[in-house]
Chain A
Amino acid sequence: MSNKSPLPPRSSWVQLTPAAVLWLLAAGFLMLTADLPKDAQAIPLLVGWTTLVLVSIDFLSRLNNSFGQALMRALNPSALKPDHEGGSAWRIASGVLLVVVLIGAFLTVGVLAAAAIVIFGALMFAYPRQLLSNLLVAAGATAGIWLLFSALLGLSLYRGVFFGDVL
């Protein structure tokens, strides 16, 4: 009988990609650090190399062999459990898109217009049949933002680059 504990099946490139990307980021950081004056690079170099070593170990622990599994068991056992985070690729993309659209709208059309457009758009995306309710919620939320930030805190709300404000 084999004594190996059961492991979830792992496809190699999907499993290795995060560590590979982090490895490249750490290496890039070290390359940027090399151009700095000596005193300014002391701690960043230390941190950069330490992180590169740690990411390398993370990479090795993701390999689907006995060494990788032993590393994973010792240093990162939670990764052996199956992924509990659900969500289809479409939903994940919509979540990321929500943030991107929100940033874009804020910078271009300003706070109030962005709030109204993004909240209404997001609600229509999630609940396409509830037009009136979505409209009311978006208007209410936008009014709340105006009340809180402009009326109560006295801030002059950002109007966006389309309406003459600068970044």
Chain B
Amino acid sequence: MLTVWIHGFESLLHVREIIFLCLGMVMGLVFGAVPGLGGTTALALLMPLTYGLDSITALALAGGVMGAVPMGGSISAILLNTPGSPPNAATCADGYPLAQQGKAGLAIGAAASANAVGGIIGTISLLAILPLSEKLALSFGPPEFFLLSILGLVMVATASRGKMLRGLVAGGFGLMIAFVGFDQVTGAVRYTFGIQYLWDGVHLVPALIGMFAGAEMIRLWIQGGAIAGSASGVKVTRLTDGLLETFRHWPTVLRGSLIGTVVGAIPGVGGVVASFLSYAVTVQASKDPESFGKGNIQGVIAPEAAINAKDSSALIPTIAFGIPGGAEMAVFLGILVLHGIQPGPLMLINNTTEIYGLVWALTVACVLAGGLGMLFVKPLAMVTLIPTRKLAPIVMTIAFVGSWAVDQTALNIVVSGAFAMIGYVMRRLDYPRLPIVIAIVLGAGIERNFHQSMAMSGGSWSIFMARTICVILVACIAAGLLAAPLRSLTSHVSLRRRLQSEVPSV
């Protein structure tokens, strides 16, 4: 095992890999700092550019982006009260009050070191869990993979807070899109309307670019104005004090990192839950809970540690089972596919160098991005002042050229444009976008595993309940489907009771 870790690390020790890792970090910091862009857009934009690179270099670039995005997001959260990405919203609660008190450097330093430590703890957890998940994944057969894919889809749909039904609807339409093209099982050509381009199905990379980068740029264009109000009061001092604060509050870092690790491994739950859960638990565990929200440094450390730890563990379902847990992981999975790497159990056997190279790239990026972020605090804060109506057409054009560049097919641009509009409409109509993307990614596997299961059982559905793992997975799917409506109804009933008790008796 140690040999594989070392081999993975060695794969990064080349000038080319280091340059691309640094490039990824710079891009991650910039995209992380600008609300509305974030890691998913950065990866979607970079995806086609990695086409000419070898897989290790491409993964170093992706690892650099993913490791640096949280740091970029925390800078704008602390200085401008504008979270770069949604998980950084928890950092605003205490980071911005600290900045207002003239302690921005303290907060940014603490965020940087919490990010680094969180990333390292997340990596250690990942390295410990990956061999176990390899054994688990190899014990899975087609019925288990079929049910696991359904579970992933259900989890992603139900985790869209308060949008379970529409999440499931989006997942259903995503699967429909996934069925377009040549069916590898039966040899039939489906839903192509005679368009030869669609024989290979709806191309994943252009669809991802449209759904994330394109749709976000439409939103920014429509929103108008600058993303953040003003950076005129940015003063950054006491950065080193902030670095030390993290180590003074080591239980907070450890707790946050563990929360991030656990939450990250669950598909669909995501960084927002990890950061806010870590923040809430820290407030509850504190002897001085009233100080939170007014500039308590632990309110910065706890969410930041959780966010980076989550990034590492989110790789587990993506790599081991081919089930991306979130939007960023879905795009990352697209990068793997683009480089001929099929996520799933075989990847754990055939691509160990790539996996551990990526893990190391992510860890190095988590650690170094903090330092880089502290060096360029002010320019990063200024990036958020670019008017969105200047930014949107430029980023959208680059994204669409990138979509064309994937396989130099002009129709990719049409796919990206269509998905950009679908993505924007879905956002406006309150349909979550992630389930549709996850469904497109999982669709082919779901169908293949279903047919293989049916062939194994002679057409009997009982195969989906034949083994213990299957029964557990079916139970998890049922629980996932029932939990959200039950939670909503319970909270509604308790609200009604409270309202009734507040009505004065006549």
B421, CB-defined interface residue at 8 Å: yes
**Contact A99:B218 (CB < 8 A) given known A107-B413, A158-B404:** yes
- CA–CA, A118 and B413, complex, Å: 14
A13 to B408 CA separation, bound complex (whole angstroms)? 43
**8 Å CB contact of A167 from B410, B417, B484:** B410
How long is the Cα–Cα vector from A150 to B503 in the complex, in angstroms? 71
Look across to chain A and name the residue whose beta carbon is closest to the beta carbon of B214.
A99
A42 and B166 contacting across the interface, CB-CB below 8 Å: no
Q: Which residues of B contact A115 (CB under 8 A)?
A: 397, 401
- A103, B163: Cβ atoms closer than 8 Å: no
CB distance from A73 to the nearest CB of B (A): 5
Q: Which residue of B lies closest to A111 (CB)?
A: B401
| B188 adjacent to A44 (CB under 8 Å) | no
- Residue pair B172, A40 in contact (C-beta under 8 Å): no
Cα A60 to Cα B420 in complex, Å, equals: 28
B398 x A57 contact (CB < 8 A): no
- Whole-angstrom CA separation of A36 from B451 in the bound complex: 16
The answer on a CB contact under 8 Å between A47 and B175 is: yes
Q: Is the CB of A26 within 8 A of B172?
A: yes
Contact present for B489 and A78 (CB under 8 Å): no
| A40-B183, A115-B401 known; A25 vs B173 contact (CB < 8 Å) | yes
Question: Which B residues lie within 8 Å of A149 (CB)?
Answer: 401, 405
Residue from A37, A54, A118 having most chain B Cβ neighbours under 10 A: A54
Query: Within the complex, what minimum Cβ distance (angstroms) separates B189 from chain A?
Result: 9
Which residues of the other chain, A, contact B163 by a CB distance below 8 angstroms? Answer: 76, 78-79
The minimal Cβ–Cβ distance linking B480 to chain A, given in whole angstroms, is: 13
Q: Give Cα distance in the complex from A154 to B405, angstroms.
A: 11
Which residues, 25 to 69 on B, are CB-close (under 8 Å) to A?
49, 51-52
With A77-B162, A106-B404, A118-B393 as given contacts, are A165 and B175 in contact (CB-CB < 8 Å)?
no
Residues of chain A contacted by B173 (CB below 8 angstroms): 22, 25-26, 51
Q: Which residues of B contact A33 (CB under 8 A)?
A: 190
Annotate A87-104 by CB proximity to B: 1 below 8 A, 0 otherwise: 100011011101110110
Surface stretch bound by A, among B108-116, B220-228, B301-309: B220-228
Least Cβ distance of A30 to chain B in Å? 10
Q: Residue B495 at the A interface, CB < 8 A?
A: yes
Query: CB distance A51 to B222 under 8 Å?
Result: no
Instruction: Determine whether A1 belongs to the interface, using a CB cutoff of 8 Å to chain B.
Output: yes
Q: Which of B49, B190, B428, B500 contacts A3 (CB 8 A)?
A: B500
Contact B427 A103, beta carbon cutoff 8 Å: no
Q: What CA separation (Å) do A99 and B451 show in the bound complex?
A: 39
Least distance between A157 CB and chain B CB atoms (Å): 8
A55 to B488, CA, bound (A): 20
The smallest C-beta distance from B421 to any residue of chain A, in angstroms, reads: 6
Within 8 A of A (CB), among B409-438: 410-411, 413-414, 417, 420-421, 424, 427-431
Residue numbers in A under 8 Å from B450 (CB-CB):
42-43
Are B413 and A106 in contact, CB atoms less than 8 angstroms apart? yes
Question: Contacts A54-B169, A154-B52 hold; do A3 and B499 have CB atoms under 8 A apart?
Answer: yes
- CB pair A58 B165 closer than 8 Å: yes
A158 near B186 (CB under 8 angstroms)?
Answer: no
Given A51-B169, A75-B165, A99-B420, A44-B411 contact (CB < 8 Å) = no
How distant is the Cα of A155 from the Cα of B414 in the complex, in angstroms? Answer: 19
Q: Is A86 close to B, CB under 8 A?
A: yes
Complex interface residues of chain B between 137 and 169 (CB less than 8 A to chain A): 161-166, 168-169
Is A86 a contact of B393 with CB atoms below 8 Å? Answer: no
Cα distance A137–B395 in the bound complex, in angstroms: 12
Determine the chain A residues whose CB is within 8 A of the CB of B221 once the complex forms.
91, 94-95, 98, 122
Is B410 a contact of A165 with CB atoms below 8 Å? yes
The A29-80 residues at the B interface (CB cut-off 8 A) are 29, 32-33, 36-37, 39-40, 42-44, 47-48, 50-51, 54-55, 57-58, 61, 73-79
Task: Point out the residues of chain A lying under 8 angstroms from B161, CB to CB.
Answer: 78
B447 CB-CB contact with A under 8 Å: yes
- Distance of B11 from chain A, by nearest CB (Å): 23
For window 108-138 of A, CB contacts with B under 8 Å fall at 111, 114-115, 118-119, 122-123, 126-127, 137
In contact, B410 and A107 (Cβ under 8 angstroms): yes
Contact of B179 among A43, A81, A98 (CB under 8 A): A43
Q: Is the CB of A106 within 8 A of B410?
A: yes
B-chain residues with CB within 8 Å of residue A118 when the two chains form the complex: 393, 397
Q: Chain B residues with Cβ under 8 A from A51's Cβ?
A: 169, 172-173, 175-176
- Which 8 residue pairs across A and B have the least CB separation, nearest first? A51-B172, A78-B162, A122-B393, A40-B188, A75-B165, A126-B389, A87-B222, A40-B186
Task: Other than A79-B166, A96-B218, give 7 A-B pairs with Cβ distance below 8 A.
Answer: A51-B172, A76-B163, A78-B162, A83-B430, A94-B222, A95-B219, A126-B224
**Pairs A–B under 8 Å by Cβ, sample size 10:** A1-B503, A33-B190, A47-B172, A51-B173, A75-B165, A95-B424, A99-B421, A119-B394, A141-B394, A153-B51
